[in-house]
Amino acid sequence: MTPQQLEQAWDAGRLVPLAAPDEQAPPVPEALQRQFGPGVIVGSGGSAGGRRWCLQPLTHLQASAAATAAWLGALGYEPAACLHLNPLPLHHVSGLMPWLRCRHWGARHQALDPALMRDPVALASALPASVLADQGPVLLSLVPTQLLRLLDEPAGIAWLQQLDLIWVGGAPLPAALAHRARELELRLAPCYGATETAAMVCALPPERFLAGESGCGQPLADVQLRLAGAVGSAGAPGCVDNPDVSAPLEVLTSRLSPGWLHQGQLVQLPRSADGWWRSGDAARLSPSGLEIQGRLDGAIHSGGETVFPEQVEQRLGALLEAAELPVAALLLLGEPDPRWGQRLVALVRLQALAGADGPPVLAELALLARQLPPAQRPARWLLCPQLERTVTGKWERRRWQQWLAGQA
């Protein structure tokens, strides 16, 4: 579906299902059309728990755009004067929102062919610095995988250095990648959000990122965050959770999804009695903002310790980058272990042009992993040539867990 077709459907008061070309979105019952009016049914999930078709009314999407505009305004940007570059497809909430923000702000939107994000030279040629310099503030939304690909080429680095603000979300920003971006003085704004929250709920300003702060910053004006079981919330005056506590993250905002479509029925989004939604992520909240620890449904219990695979992936990523090993992708999964309860297993895809012999590289990785605590060291290392994230930078952990089961 094109933005023009979406506009026409909304003008007619329709809820519009947005699906990838290889997907079949569920039909929208007329009762829901009448109840919610214009909006979207958009795919959510993939990192765990399977695909869900999340309903978001247009009013929620507009509220998200307004909150983002207020955040930009506090940084000194005039939202209507910005050019928003968008390299993600419309059927993902991260691709839908840049276009809708511009529609709501009266700003300029430019879609980028996702293939350009894999070809920094072609990207720099399609949008050269001389063109970007005349556009006013230039904004970009990326996932970490796209950022990493652009940083692999001098042309990509030079292009990113022309941008005023680069939101990075969809997946955790690896510490090594953040360090490199700071060295290059890239104006990153790590952020956090979900389809269920109509995208971004917090973001770290670029100046604070460049000053060395980690995490995803403070919640936007229409959002409160708290940890399950903790007292207080971020976004409420005078209330900040214990920064040493890691617990399930909960979100309160007026733009929470009403629910998702299942077999023609709306399944309501689970909320606490006081209206909070539990996200499925473990987090810390401190005076500087939100720090995501990892997916609760991906955590394993190994030797009496709770291990978040995403955190270990970041630590291993920094080690293998320092060792200059030819690893293109690394994913850690859990599997049962009779002594430990569970152990990590590492799936590895090598760089295509490295010409490296797989087993020796895996042996080097295993040696590097000895620098980690015992519970975080993968018990097995497996080559997986087809290993790849989704277009939005997420791991389909259920898919790769099934692949791992097939290797037994």
Residue 263: per-residue pLDDT: 85
Rounded CA separation 333/351 (Å): 21
Rounded CA separation 142/117 (Å): 9
Over residues 242-287, the pLDDT tens digits come to 555 678 999 999 999 999 998 889 999 999 999 999 998 889 998 8
Rounded CA separation 395/392 (Å): 9
Residue 391: per-residue pLDDT: 74
Give SS3 for 251: strand
Considering the entire predicted model, what is its pTM? 0.80
Cα atoms in the 13 Å half-sphere on the side-chain side of 190: 26
Distances (CA, A) of 230 to 122, 194, 241, 244, 305: 49, 22, 7, 11, 21
* Residue corresponding to tokens 């952990």: 397
Residue 239: per-residue pLDDT: 40
Class of domain 299-406: alpha beta
CB 16 within 8 A of CB 40: yes
The residues of the chain scoring below 50 in pLDDT are 46-49, 237-241
β-pairing, 39-45 vs 15-18, is parallel
Over residues 68-115, the pLDDT tens digits come to 999 999 999 999 999 999 998 898 898 999 999 999 999 999 999 988
Number of other residues whose CB lies within 10 A of the CB of residue 294: 21
Residue 201: per-residue pLDDT: 97
- Nearest CA to 313 out of 131, 176, 128 is that of 176
Residue 231: per-residue pLDDT: 52
- 95-130: string of b/e by CB count within 10 Å (b at 16+)? bbbbbbbbbbbebebebeeeebbbbbeebbeebeee
Domain boundaries, given as residue ranges, for the chain:
3-294, 299-406
Superfamily name with CATH number, domain 3-294: ANL, N-terminal domain (3.40.50.12780)
